[in-house]
């Protein structure tokens, strides 16, 4: 589950059930994590034209500024919670980018790259990880896995602007891609190991207007009883030409360095704790 939204959803689950860490892999440094190299997902015949249209839309997007709102809904063991995360992002169209999340006006975290240095900053814990990054749009297999992990859930439009082959990147991150069986013929359904993502595309532009994530599979595994639904819906409100900004950033002097792994992505700390103050956010 993506890091910025995980604190809200996973912490709610921890308050009502007992998560297990059995079989969790050991943590590893962010700089040592290669991009996913698994075989490409199968694509249904009906989904192929939609996937091609989506890929072309972001391959030629150029500098792009995006923003949207994620609403996470959690219903387990007879109790329900809703969380909101506002996301913002921008890319220069040549590999540099930032992705920032906040809830109730308080910063949650940042992922950023200027083509030389990349960081994942957890503002709640005031800790950061250094990321191996590449210059320019990269091959799908060269994109840092930590970046893919966050953006596939929280900002897929931005994610697809970072590679020279958006369709292949999606096929690397998923096990199958098909067109929705529902009435909306402009929806792609992506199956991942722990969740299902449904992307709704604009019929004219091919860009993503909404992303719906069903976290049911992963929460059912960790919390065997009482899981009714765990989902998040990202609705994009802005996708427009990007402005000229600096993508250079450095962690606060008070921040600690972290190692990325399963425990971090669970985000089990209290998301209502006041996060560290913003530090040199992109402008």
How confident is the model over 19-73, as pLDDT tens digits?
322 222 222 334 434 444 568 999 999 999 999 999 999 999 999 999 999 999 8
Sign of the torsion angle spanned by Cα atoms 43, 197, 28, 168: positive
**2: confidence class by pLDDT, cuts 50, 70, 90:** low
Model-level pTM?
Answer: 0.82
Helix residue ranges, H only, the chain: 3-16, 48-59, 145-154, 156-159, 166-173, 216-222, 262-266
Q: Does residue 216 surpass a pLDDT of 80?
A: no
Selected residue with higher pLDDT from 254 and 75: 254
Give domain limits for the chain.
3-18+30-242
Query: Pairing relation of β-strands 256-257 and 127-131?
Result: parallel
Torsion sign, CA atoms 49, 163, 58, 145: positive
Least confident of 137-146, 170-179, 215-224: 215-224
Higher pLDDT, 226 or 86: 86
The winner for highest mean pLDDT among 77-86, 125-134, 266-275 is 125-134
CATH code for the part of the protein at 3-18+30-242: 2.50.20.10
Of 128, 127, 133, the closest CA to residue 148 belongs to 133
Q: Is the pLDDT of residue 6 over 90?
A: no
Q: Residue 261 class from Cβ within 10 Å (0-12 exposed, 13-18 middle, 19+ buried)?
A: middle
- The predicted model gives 183-191 an average pLDDT of 89
Note the pLDDT of residue 68.
Answer: 98
The mean of the pLDDT values for the chain is: 81
């Amino acid at each position: 589950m993506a890091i910025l939204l995980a604190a809200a959803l996973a912490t709610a689950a921890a308050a009502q059930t007992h998560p297990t860490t059995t079989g969790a892999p050991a943590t590893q440094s962010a700089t040592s994590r290669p991009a996913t190299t698994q075989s490409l997902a199968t694509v249904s015949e009906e989904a192929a034209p939609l996937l091609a249209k989506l890929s072309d839309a972001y391959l030629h997007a150029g500098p792009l500024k995006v923003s949207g709102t994620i609403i996470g809904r959690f219903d387990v063991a007879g109790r329900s919670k809703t969380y909101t995360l506002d996301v913002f992002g921008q890319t220069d169209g040549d590999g540099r980018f930032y992705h920032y999340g906040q809830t109730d006006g308080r910063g949650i975290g940042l992922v950023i790259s200027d083509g030389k240095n990349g960081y994942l900053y957890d503002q709640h814990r005031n800790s950061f990880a250094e990321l191996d990054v590449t210059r320019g749009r990269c091959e799908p297999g060269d994109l840092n896995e930590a970046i893919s992990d966050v953006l596939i859930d929280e900002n897929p439009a931005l994610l697809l602007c970072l590679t020279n082959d958006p369709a292949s990147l999606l096929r690397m991150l998923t096990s199958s891609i098909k067109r929705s069986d529902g009435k909306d013929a402009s929806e792609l359904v992506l199956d991942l190991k722990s969740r299902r993502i449904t992307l709704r595309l604009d019929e004219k532009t091919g860009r993503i207007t909404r992303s719906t994530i069903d976290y049911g599979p992963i929460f059912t595994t960790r919390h065997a009883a009482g899981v009714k639904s765990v989902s998040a819906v990202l609705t994009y409100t802005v996708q427009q030409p990007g402005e000229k900004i600096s993508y250079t950033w450095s962690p606060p002097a008070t921040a600690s360095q972290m190692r990325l792994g399963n425990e971090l992505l669970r985000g089990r700390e209290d998301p209502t704790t006041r996060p560290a103050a913003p530090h040199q956010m992109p402008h």
